[in-house]
Each structure stands twice: as structure tokens, then as C-alpha cells.
Amino acid sequence: MAQVPQRFFDALAVRTWCGLSLRALGRAREEIDAINVYPVADGDTGTNLYLTVESAVAAVEAVFAAHEVSTAAGAGAGAPGPGDAAGPSLAEAVQAMAHGALIGARGNSGTILAQLLRGMAQVLAARGEPAHTDGPGLRLALRHAADSARQAVAHPVEGTVLSVASAAADAADAAADDCGSVVRAAYEGARAALAATPGQLPVLERAGVVDAGGQGLVTVLAALVETLTGQAPGAAAVRVPHARAGHAERLAGGECAPQESGGEGPAFEVIYLLEAEDAAVERLRRRLDALGDSLVVVGGDGLWNVHVHVDDAGAAVEAGVEAGRPYRIRITHFGHGDVHTTGDGRPSQERAQRAVVAVVPGEGLAGLYTEAGATTVLARPGEPPASGELVQAVRRAHAREVVLLPNDAELRHTAAAAAEQARTEGIRVALIPTRSAVQGIAALAVHEPERRFDEDVVAMTSAAGATRYGEVTVAERQSWTTAGICQAGDVLGLIDGDVAVIGADVTATARTVLDRMLAAGGELVTLVLGDEAPEDVAEHLENHVREAYLAVDTVVYRGGRQGAPLLVGVE
């Protein structure tokens, strides 16, 4: 069914564009991952672009949700504020989109995409200027986006997403003034530039593929065409006619190095958000440029996203500390092949038959999972792991068969991408869709490496599925929930991912959540306490279960800095 066109580029068009881009990248993610050979053949460009846009979508939806809450509250008081019914302004929507992409940017291409969106937002939300909702406004935004992205890259290379963005802006300059004509021209210009990328970068020509980041941008521009015309372009992606099947996958497996120099590239990708002044960031650029390559620094107004490939990851982080306050630090090793190999490529030890890899939200649970024999990936609050980190953990497990426990519904695409990449390396991977660490605990409890792989996976999946999961957390802002409107600072009780209780006290809310979960029956309650949980909450809940549910046992773990004061599982 055709998309209803947005004739002007307003806040609703921004929301529609973001949603269509996310769906399109979700469909194209695996193909884009497969052709990712530059600057590093790590096979995650599609996933990184998807996660970057996913963060932008979340930010835009939050703005719309806040306006809905404000409108409802004003209507309830009989005095809605001016403009409430119209929803957010274009400036609010594009600024949210740009900010969400900035804080969620992943990888080289995701960071550049974040700067492209920021460049557009700077034009579309310019203060003192009329809203740029028409074709000429979009034309200006596309030009500024391409120019600002190129400026953010320390050493721009032709044949990459930068070339595609510039070509899109060039084509838009010659289009008619209506929005549809501008975005169609930009899309067609980008497609033509994408098809030309192999002739600009030898590594793409050898692999028989187009630039992966450029293909991602074409996908995003196709979504913009659909937003403003109501019709999706006939072909949102371009492949080189002589593409040789499997060549990109062999590159990703490490058969040849895709560095422009033709030699070995840096060992680590380092990404972090940075709070710093402009002058300090300029010094940081020079410092990081001397340490490595693929340097991209995007952002402004005191908040930056820093991306660089280096051999000394510690030095790259230290440079950020000197410049300001780095956080959400993410370090990924580019090691191709197994991490348990010696210099001559031979395994240093025999592979285990089976292993479990789990994402855990806190240091305490990481210790618990490790004691149970799992290889863990720590996901600190606000810092979900990238697919490359999960692939590295699978390699680190050094097993022929791996059971992957993401322990978070938001990690489903990331975990799926990691599992697919590991399978291309000859590892048999089963992904169990655990949505909480307590479901992972239940799955790990029945794990038996000695039985057949399929039987083990079925047993672990069954145990996880039979475990209801809850969470007690604190609201960060006013918003709609399935239990009503919450205010910042309210205590929220979630059951199976939905808000079921809004309260003022962690212990009282936790007790209500526990009662509702046990109303359907249960034999074992698992409580995982975060650092912010009240000291007496575990004792209170244990006593309550003992007195009210005679046949139910309780086990308590310390989760550490897990983001939520309390996780609850009922088996």
C-alpha cells in the first residue's frame, strides 16, 4: 500500500521519514553488512546504520509523546497551551532526530550518518529563520548535511558515503522547488554516485561491491522519497553488475586487508560520547589523528561523538579524558579469525564443544554468569553492546557450538546480526530470545553441554519462556505508559516489558509487582538487586513471599550497576 505523502517537510514528515528509514534499513541490513569491506571488513555497517536510526526514531517518538502528554494534561485542566494540538514543531522534531542519532551512532558509517542528520537539522531548525518546510529549504539542508559530514571526517575519501551525500546535494540543486522533485533528484543522484564507488575505491572494485555506507544512505534517501511522494522508488539499493558472490564475505572473514594502504589496519575501533568545549575538541582531533585512522568527530554545542581506529585504545580514551568527559565508551577489537590463535594462525588450544555467551546488565550478574561457565558481555546503563562486541565474545568462547542469550528485547537485531556473522565463520550459533537477565539465569540453570545441541537449546528456550520477568525502575521524564501518565521520579513496575504499576516507593511497588506476577502461580522467585535498591527491599520481599506464598522459594543476587534498582523473575 502506498505511503500517504507529506507535501511539506514538517514534524510529521520527520517522524514518518525516520520510521520508514528504520524499516527499510531493517530489510536491507544483512545485504549491507555483507558488502562491508571499507574501511574495515567487519560486516556490521548495515547493523550500525540500523541502530543509529533506531536511536533517532526513539528520540523523535519521545518528543511526540511529550506533546501528547502535555496536550492531555492541558485538556484535563481545561486550558491547553497554544499550539499543543499541533504537536511538536519542525525544529523540535529535527533536533530530536539529530540528537538521537548522535548519542546512538555506531561505527564509522553510523557516525557520519549522524552528522548528515545534524547538518540537515542545523538548516531546518535555524533560529530567526522561517521554517524551511519547502523544496528550497530541503535543498539547503541536503547541501549543508553533505558539507558538514565531509568536514567531520579527518581525511575524506572519495568512493564512500561522503561522495554519495555530495552527489545527492548536487542533484538536488538542479531540481524544481517542490519537495518531491528535490528528494527524487537527490535520490537519483545518490544512486548514480553509489554505482560509481567501485571505480573510486580499489578495494570495492576487487570485492565487486559498492560502498556499504553509501548504500545505507541511498536506502535512507529512498525512505525520504516515499515520505514526500507517497511512492517508494523502484530500487533502493544498487549492486555492481559484476559483483562476485561470496567475495565480500571472504573479505569479512579476513582473507585480505581492506586498508587503503593495503597493509594491516589498526586493531581497535574506539567510540565514545564526549562533553567538551570546541577548542578542546580541535586539540583532540589532532591527537587522535596522530594515533590512528578513520577519525570522525561529529556533534557540537558541548556534546560530541568520537570515532577512531587505533592500535592503542587506552591512549584514545585518555585523549578524550584530557579533552572533557568521555562516556558510553565502546571498544571493539578488529581481530579476524579466532582470538585463541597463535601468531602462525594455529589454535592455541582445542575448541570446546559448546559454550554460552550472555549479555548482562551489571558486574554482579557478570560474575554470576561467569561462575556458571558463560562468556559475558557487560551492558552498562545506556551502553548496549554493538554486534561486533557480541561476535568477539562468541569468538572468545572458543567453541564449535554457542548459545547466545541477549537478555534484552532491544538487542534482538544486534544479537541476530552477531549470530549470522559468527555462522559465516563456521560456528554453530543458536539465539535464544531472552528479554531479561532473569530469563537468562533460568536458561543457564538447565544448560547441559553433554546432551545434543538441539535438545539443549530447546530445554534452555523452554526454561526462559516459562520465566515471567519484571523490573522496578525510576521514570526519567513525564510520559504515557500502559498504566497511565507517569512523572519524572515516579517508580515504575514493569511486568513482561509493560508498565503495570506507577508508585512512589521502590519497596511498595516491588511488592505489588511480585503479587501480580505470582497471581498466575510460580515455584521460584529470583530477585536481582541493583546498587540503587533500598537496603531492606530484599528482606522485605523474601518475608512477604514466605508468608503469603508457602510453596514458593526465593533466591537473591546482587547485580551491581544494572540500571534498574530491581529485576524480578518468577519461574
pLDDT (average), residues 475-491: 89
Q: Cα dist. 248→6, 50, 51, 106, 160 in Å? A: 38, 20, 22, 21, 16
pLDDT (average), residues 340-357: 60
Q: How far apart are CA 71 and CA 82, in angstroms?
A: 10
Give pLDDT tens digits for 46-82. 888 998 998 899 899 989 988 887 666 655 545 444 4
- The whole-chain average pLDDT of the chain stands at 84
Cβ atoms of residues 467 and 495 within 8 Å: no
For the whole model, what pTM was predicted?
0.63
pLDDT at 428: 93
Q: Please report where in the chains the cell 502506498 appears, as a residue.
A: 2
User: What band does 165 get if pLDDT is binned at 50, 70 and 90?
Assistant: very high
* Burial environment of residue 30 by CB neighbours within 10 A (0 to 12, 13 to 18, 19 or more): middle
Contacts of 214 (CB under 8 A, 6+ apart): 160, 161, 163, 164, 190, 193, 194, 197
Question: What does the radius of gyration of the chain's CA atoms come to, in whole angstroms?
Answer: 25
Q: How far apart are CA 376 and CA 386, in angstroms?
A: 14
pLDDT at 262: 36
Q: How far apart are CA 38 and CA 40, in angstroms?
A: 5
Q: Cα dist. 521→113, 468, 546, 571 in Å? A: 48, 10, 14, 9
Give pLDDT tens digits for 233-259. 865 444 543 444 344 343 333 333 333
Let me know the angle formed at the C-alpha of 262 by 260 and 267, rounded to the nearest 5 degrees. Answer: 85
pLDDT (average), residues 290-305: 92
pLDDT (average), residues 552-569: 89
Q: How far apart are CA 349 and CA 347, in angstroms?
A: 5
Work out the percent of the chain whose per-residue pLDDT is above 90. 52
pLDDT at 544: 94
Q: How far apart are CA 417 and CA 409, in angstroms?
A: 14
